[in-house]
Amino acid sequence: MPGWLRRWGPEVLGLLGIVALAWLAWWQFRWMGTDLHTPISHGINEDWDWQLGFYEASRICLLDHGQLPGWNPFVQGGVPLLANPESPFLYPPFVLILLFGSSAGLKLWVLFHLVALAGACWWAGRAQGLGPFEAHIAGVLALCSAQLPAQTAMGHIMYLPLCWLPLAWIASRRGRWRLAGICLAMPVLAGAHHVFLYALLLLGVDALFRMVDPKRAWALGLWLLLNLLLLGQGWASWPMAVLGLLALGWQRPHPGGRPWRHIAVVAGAVLLAALLLGPKLATLPVLWARAERLAPQLTFSVADEFGPWRALQVVLGLVDRPSAHNGQNVLYSPVPLVLALVGLVWALRRKPAVALAGLFFLNIGWGGATPVNLLELLHRVPPWDHIRVVERYGAVWTLFIGWLAAWGVWGLWRLRRPGWLRWILGPVAVVALTWHVVHAAPRAAAHYHIGAGAPHSIPPPSDFVQVDDELTTWESMRANRGKPRCWTTAWLADPGPVLAREDPGYRGEVWMVDGPAVSAAITPNRIRFEAPAAGLLVVNQNAFDGWEYRGQPASSRDGLLAIQVSPGPGELVYRPPGLLLGLFMLLAGLAVLAWPLASRGRRRAAGASSATG
């Protein structure tokens, strides 16, 4: 067999297997229908409706009007769009939406991220030192669990960019802070700010655990494991706190290398990510000041009468999960947990920081159910205090269950004493893992069975108007209509004084305070009108900073957009506040990325000139 085939054959076959498995999971979506253009199932104000509308608003701004998606007039009477943390149009895969439309594009969006997650998990496993077979286990188990299928089926696709978490982790471990910064920025560009916080937390705790002497890391690992085994045992709080302090006090710095370099790499990655996210971060305050859903309180908690047995039943899917937001992840059998426990022993010896990070996320994933509530400590630190649904930390610990299970298979195949035992336990582990995949994959696919949406008759686009009808938000946008009363991720409590065409007292979309309605051409960021006389002009949209008329900022009249105008034609323009600063930040980030390439080019030019001389 040629050497290159022995070297790359398993890698290529593994990658092909990843694509095949991800496609199989994606194919299970019943809303796929017979082609990509079958509508995604959704009702009024349901999660898929909000996601479809969100992506459609950005697509309309870019393609139909040739404008930056800075303002969204289609939901809740008009809200900032670029400033919204979940706006996705700056994310490179958004090109799928532009090419195929919101419904078909989001289906391909799901497939892209399933493949990317499986591939990223495999790459992270290889970087840890796992073989080409074992490295696939984390990705396979993630696709065969309930986490992504259940979240995606209900429309919570903001968790699909979880694929960037292992990439950021491994890049930081290799000291490639620029690559880690790109991977940190990508989830936020995709609207997945939760994933950004998960990844940032992983990079931070991993850097801290790598500063610890590996020969003493097992003490922290045993303490974190014991804290899990004592779920629901409130009496153990003080004893466990004392044991935790003793375990920490017994640690000592890593005897070799430069451990503080890990912190510097993470800091550099975070700073670069902040620069690359400049357009979103600099424009965020205008929405943040009016947000109603950012209170630092937990709306769901996993501390619902949990003990070890109850927790195991939930993880295995034997009982209902406590939270309407999917609670803890479901693994469908004890095989991943058993293999992960075996792998924990091997990982604590060979990759202690990996084992400690996995145990840490398992602890915070169970919230107040553990004797020492690490989650409460974490959620006293901004910005993690704004993560409302804490059960979704399970999205991270699911990956670590896979990596630890991979270490379990690796260890069983490499038992030395007695050597004959590995020829029993190794095949048993592989057979058990294969059985689990065969058993779990159909159950995971069942989460995707949400049916195909019934087609609706969409009226042809007309002049923009706010309506309150039977159409969903996505369908209203396709008909060039806004919905002042709808649910959206803009986080406004209500549409305020904005009126629908059907409401009593509706005066049109643009009118003079002391005069009639005014004819206007309304597009997302520009409103052109013909004022019959000088006076106060009012627009039936929410008043936010950023609207201007001839260089002068607009004001508010009872919460609606208003401006003193002169007679004749005029135009209101929306420019997101902070956008100029955000663009400067973005340019600075791109310059940081381009600097090594420029330096390399200069060195090559200098080398060529010296060789010529």
Label residue 312 by pLDDT band (50, 70, 90).
Answer: confident
- Cα–Cα distances in Å, from 370 out to 93, 240, 243, 354? 39, 10, 14, 21
How far is it, in rounded angstroms, from Cα 223 to Cα 238? 13
Counting Cα atoms < 13 Å in the Cβ hemisphere of 304 gives 14
What was the pLDDT predicted at 34?
47
What was the pLDDT predicted at 146?
84
> Looking only at Cα atoms, what is the longest distance across the chain?
95
How far is it, in rounded angstroms, from Cα 225 to Cα 363? 8
How far is it, in rounded angstroms, from Cα 21 to Cα 16? 9
Give the burial string for 575-594 (b: 16+ CB within 10 Å, else e).
bbbbbeebeebbeebeebee
**Has residue 488 got a pLDDT over 70?**
no
State pLDDT tens for residues 388-437: 777 778 889 899 999 999 999 988 888 877 777 878 888 888 899 888 88
What mean pLDDT comes out for the span 204-222? 90
Report for 1-10, 43-52, 572-581: range of highest mean pLDDT: 572-581
What was the pLDDT predicted at 606?
60
Fill in the DSSP letter of residue 481: E
How far is it, in rounded angstroms, from Cα 39 to Cα 402? 34
Task: Specify the amino acid at residue 348.
Answer: L
How far is it, in rounded angstroms, from Cα 130 to Cα 122? 9
Q: Cβ(342)–Cβ(403) under 8 Å?
A: no
DSSP run (H or E) holding 585: helix 579-612
How far is it, in rounded angstroms, from Cα 322 to Cα 328? 8
Say if pTM beats, i.e. exceeds, 0.85: yes
Q: Which structure tokens are listed for 167? A: 């990439």
Quick count: other Cβ atoms within 10 Å of Cβ 83? 28
What was the pLDDT predicted at 552?
92
What was the pLDDT predicted at 455?
56
What mean pLDDT comes out for the span 606-613? 58
Q: What angle do CA 19, 25, 26 make, to 5 degrees?
A: 85
Q: Given CA atoms 30, 32, 37, 42 in this order, what sign does their dihedral have?
A: positive
Q: Which structure tokens are listed for 428? A: 């048993």
What was the pLDDT predicted at 4?
64
Radius of gyration of the chain (CA): 27
DSSP 440-476: HHHHHHHTT---BPPP--PPPP-S-EE--SSS-HHHH
User: Per-domain residue ranges for the chain?
Assistant: 8-38+112-446
**Has residue 603 got a pLDDT over 70?**
no
How far is it, in rounded angstroms, from Cα 228 to Cα 221? 11
**Has residue 302 got a pLDDT over 70?**
no
Q: Cβ(467)–Cβ(476) under 8 Å?
A: yes
DSSP run (H or E) holding 152: helix 147-153
How far is it, in rounded angstroms, from Cα 493 to Cα 599? 51
Q: Cβ(231)–Cβ(369) under 8 Å?
A: yes
